[in-house]
């Protein structure tokens, strides 16, 4: 006879906060819920953890089932288990954070998602006290504001934004996520940092820090088109493999 505890056991779920960079700023991948609770509301991709399934595996599975996105590098953000966050009962959710290039990850609604979309962060009822005026004028969004977020997902997104800011506060640190395409311009890289940090950065200082620390290397120069020379492309510089001492000699 299997042993059982006399204590209550809350259900365990996972949620994925996935950011990307769009022309107008940061966007986040959301699903519109097909079923109750919060039917019709926008929510983070996620769901219940299966028995004998790791949290990271559950996050990857739910993300793929609901949005068709797979293979993203994820970092555990934290646990959220306030009573009342889920009307179905006491549920503890472990949230994961990631940042991807949207063009590399086509999305398609599946499972219990009625719709999936990259929603501009400014269209959500999310406020970060550290936010400053945008570095560049924002273009109006073609998508109406997502007025409601399910569960406590607005709070989870706020905390994820702060964690992302911590990662990109120092431009000389290598970002743990896919924040730019494999080949990128320094202007593209700077725009991502400005969108995440919510403030403008000095162009000359930013580029000097990036290049001086050897984080990037230029890609072969492109051919001149017309009168204008295309912007120089860069890629992340791969670290030199460490040599190991031969212990047999």
Catalytic residue set: 115
Q: What is the DSSP string of the chain?
A: -----SS---EEEEEEEEEEEETTEEEEEEEEESSSSSTT-EE-SEEEPPTT--HHHHHHHHHHHHH-------EEEEEE--TTSSTTS-EEEEEEEEE--GGGS-----TTEEEEEEEEGGGSS---TT--S-SSPPPPPSSPP---BSTTHHHHHHHHHHHHHHHHSSTTSPPSS--S-SSB-HHHHHHHHHHHHTS---HHHHHHHHHHTT-EEEPPPPPPBTTBPPPPPEEEPPPPPPP---TT-
Burial class (CB in 10 A: 0-12, 13-18, 19+), 90: middle
**Of residues 95, 96, 101, the one with CA closest to residue 118:** 101
- How many beta carbons lie within 10 A of that of residue 156, not counting itself? 24
């Amino acid at each position: 006879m299997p042993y059982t505890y006399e204590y209550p056991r809350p259900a365990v779920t996972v949620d994925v906060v996935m950011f990307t960079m769009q022309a107008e700023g940061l966007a986040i991948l959301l699903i519109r819920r097909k079923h109750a609770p919060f039917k019709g509301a926008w929510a983070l991709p996620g769901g219940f953890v299966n028995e004998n399934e790791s949290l990271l595996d559950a996050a990857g599975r739910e993300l793929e089932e609901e949005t068709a996105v797979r293979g993203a590098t994820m970092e555990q953000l934290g646990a959220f288990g306030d009573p009342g966050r889920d009307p179905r009962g006491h549920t503890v959710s472990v949230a994961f954070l990631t940042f991807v290039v949207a063009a590399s990850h086509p999305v398609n609604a599946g499972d219990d998602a009625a719709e999936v979309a990259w929603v501009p962060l400014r269209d959500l009822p999310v406020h970060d006290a550290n936010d400053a005026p945008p570095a560049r004028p924002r273009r109006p969004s073609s998508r109406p504001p997502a007025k409601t977020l399910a569960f406590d997902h607005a709070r989870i997104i706020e905390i994820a934004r702060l964690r992302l800011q911590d990662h990109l506060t120092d431009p000389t640190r290598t970002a743990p996520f896919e924040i730019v395409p494999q080949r990128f311009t320094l202007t593209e890289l700077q725009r991502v940092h400005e969108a995440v940090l919510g403030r403008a950065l000095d162009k000359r200082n930013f580029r000097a820090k990036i290049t001086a620390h050897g984080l990037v290397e230029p890609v072969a120069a492109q051919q001149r088109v017309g009168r204008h020379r295309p912007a120089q492309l860069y890629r992340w510089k791969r670290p030199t493999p460490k040599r190991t001492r031969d212990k047999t000699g």
